[in-house]
């Protein structure tokens, strides 16, 4: 068995709503997870349960309120909950890739440049970055006439494909996928499934949210079911063993329904 690349131990998240008198909104309590290289762990659970929040904590967009979120490298560990702000830039450049549901559009930056950017940020040669970006855009069936244009006017599905190409191009060892197939037709969903399978084969660890059942069943090695009762049942001191595992992990091969 491969040793895990990402682990969460007793992870808590409480939002503090400063605009509403500092009201606390607890979302997650005592979450444990473990994700190995070459595996895809899919998050499930009802709307609002905290799936995107978990991805955003791993990506450093949201602060961890309690517990540990740790990356394990051959030469040591990196505790994400204690990482200084300036370190996130390097981590996102080299280690953590994030395909969000919506593309962040920058005026006058072409689709091709949006996709090339993660490679250029690492010092990759421009012609190589350009060739790899074009190959991905072509695989994702984005018409060539759009490559030169800024994606602001693209359809939802076209923007999502630019976002997917940008997310996969740099081959980060950890990839966070927030509904990457939500606006795609069947042919392009198939391309994304293939990209995920290729990423697994090169050892990428993936944490994803997929509402499309068929895609989920094809890509998930394990399912992590977040459940509302994570937030019920008292304090840390009186939490029972079952509260600690108030999420369900299903191994690949078992039914995911
Ligand atoms: N920045 C924020 N500030 C305050 N509350 C937030 C913030 N982000 C998320 N929440 C709250 O946290 C809870 C979990 O939201 P999240 O988006 O993680 O759910 P989800 O499981 O991904 O839902 P969906 O399946 O609908 O996308 C929700 O109640 C949401 O309102």
What pLDDT was estimated at residue 228?
62
The SS3 assignment for 34 reads strand
Is the CB of 15 inside a 6 Å radius of any atom of ligand 1? yes
Q: In the block, which residue shows the tokens 């682990």?
A: 7
Least confident of 10-14, 99-103, 240-244: 240-244
Atom of ligand 1 nearest to the CA of 49: 21
State in Å: Cα 160 to ligand 1 middle: 21
Ligand 1 site, residue 53, Cβ cutoff 6 A: yes
Query: What pLDDT is attached to residue 71?
Result: 97
The C-alpha atoms of residue 242 and residue 232 are separated, in whole angstroms, by: 12
Q: The tokens of 34 are what? A: 């473990």
Indicate the range of 19-28, 125-134, 179-188, 230-239 predicted with least confidence.
230-239
Contact 43 CB / ligand 1 (< 6 Å): no
Asked whether 25 lines ligand 1 (CB < 6 A), one says: yes
Give the pLDDT confidence score for residue 165 in this predicted structure. 97
Contact 62, 14 (CB under 8 A): no
Answer whether 205's CB lies under 8 Å from 39's CB: yes
- Per-residue confidence (pLDDT) for residue 247, from 0 to 100: 43
Return the residue whose CA atom lies nearest to atom 18 of ligand 1: 50
Position 154 confidence tier, pLDDT thresholds 50, 70, 90: very high
Binding site membership of 16 for ligand 1 (Cβ less than 6 Å): no
Sheet with 6-17, edge to edge strand ranges: 23-35, 6-17, 66-73, 76-79
Q: How far apart are CA 158 and CA 239, in angstroms?
A: 47
Mean pLDDT of the chain: 88
pLDDT band for 33, please (50, 70, 90 cuts): very high
52 Cβ closer than 6 Å to some ligand 1 atom: yes
Is pLDDT larger for residue 2 or for residue 29?
29
pLDDT tens, residue by residue, 1-11: 578 999 999 99
**Ligand 1 pocket member 26 (CB < 6 A):** no
ipTM (interface predicted TM): 0.97
- Percentage of residues in the chain with pLDDT exceeding 90? 79
Mutate to test the pocket of ligand 1, among 18, 21, 22, 25 (most ligand atoms within 8 A of CB): 25
Range 37-46 average pLDDT = 96
Q: Is the CB–ligand 1 distance for residue 50 below 6 Å?
A: yes
What pTM value is reported for the model?
A: 0.88
Instruction: Establish whether residue 65 lines the binding site of ligand 1, counting it when its CB lies within 6 angstroms of any ligand atom.
Output: no
81-113, pLDDT tens digit by residue? 999 988 999 999 999 999 988 888 788 999 999
Helix, strand, or coil here: 227?
coil
């Amino acid at each position: 068995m491969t040793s895990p690349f990402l682990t969460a131990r007793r992870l808590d998240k409480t939002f503090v709503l400063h605009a509403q008198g500092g009201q606390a909104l607890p979302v997650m309590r005592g979450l444990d997870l473990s994700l190995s290289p070459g595996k895809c762990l899919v998050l499930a659970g009802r709307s609002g349960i905290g799936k995107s929040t978990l991805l955003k904590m791993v990506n450093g967009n949201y602060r961890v309120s309690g517990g540990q979120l740790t990356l394990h490298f051959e030469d040591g560990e990196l505790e994400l909950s204690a990482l200084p702000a300036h370190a996130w830039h390097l981590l996102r450049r080299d280690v953590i890739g994030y395909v969000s549901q919506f593309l962040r559009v920058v005026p006058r930056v072409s689709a091709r440049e949006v996709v090339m950017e993660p490679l250029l940020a690492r010092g990759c040669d421009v012609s190589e970055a350009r060739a790899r970006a074009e190959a991905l855009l072509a695989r994702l069936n984005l018409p060539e006439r759009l490559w030169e244009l800024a994606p602001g006017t693209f359809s939802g599905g076209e923007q999502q494909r630019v976002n997917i190409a940008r997310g996969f191009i740099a081959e980060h060892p950890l990839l966070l996928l927030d509904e990457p197939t939500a606006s795609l037709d069947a042919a392009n969903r198939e391309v994304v499934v293939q990209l995920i399978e290729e990423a697994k084969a090169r050892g990428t660890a993936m944490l994803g949210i997929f509402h499309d059942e068929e895609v989920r069943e094809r890509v998930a090695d394990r399912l992590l079911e977040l459940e509302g009762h994570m937030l019920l049942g008292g304090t840390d001191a009186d939490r029972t063993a079952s509260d600690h595992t108030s999420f369900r992990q299903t191994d690949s091969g078992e039914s995911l329904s």
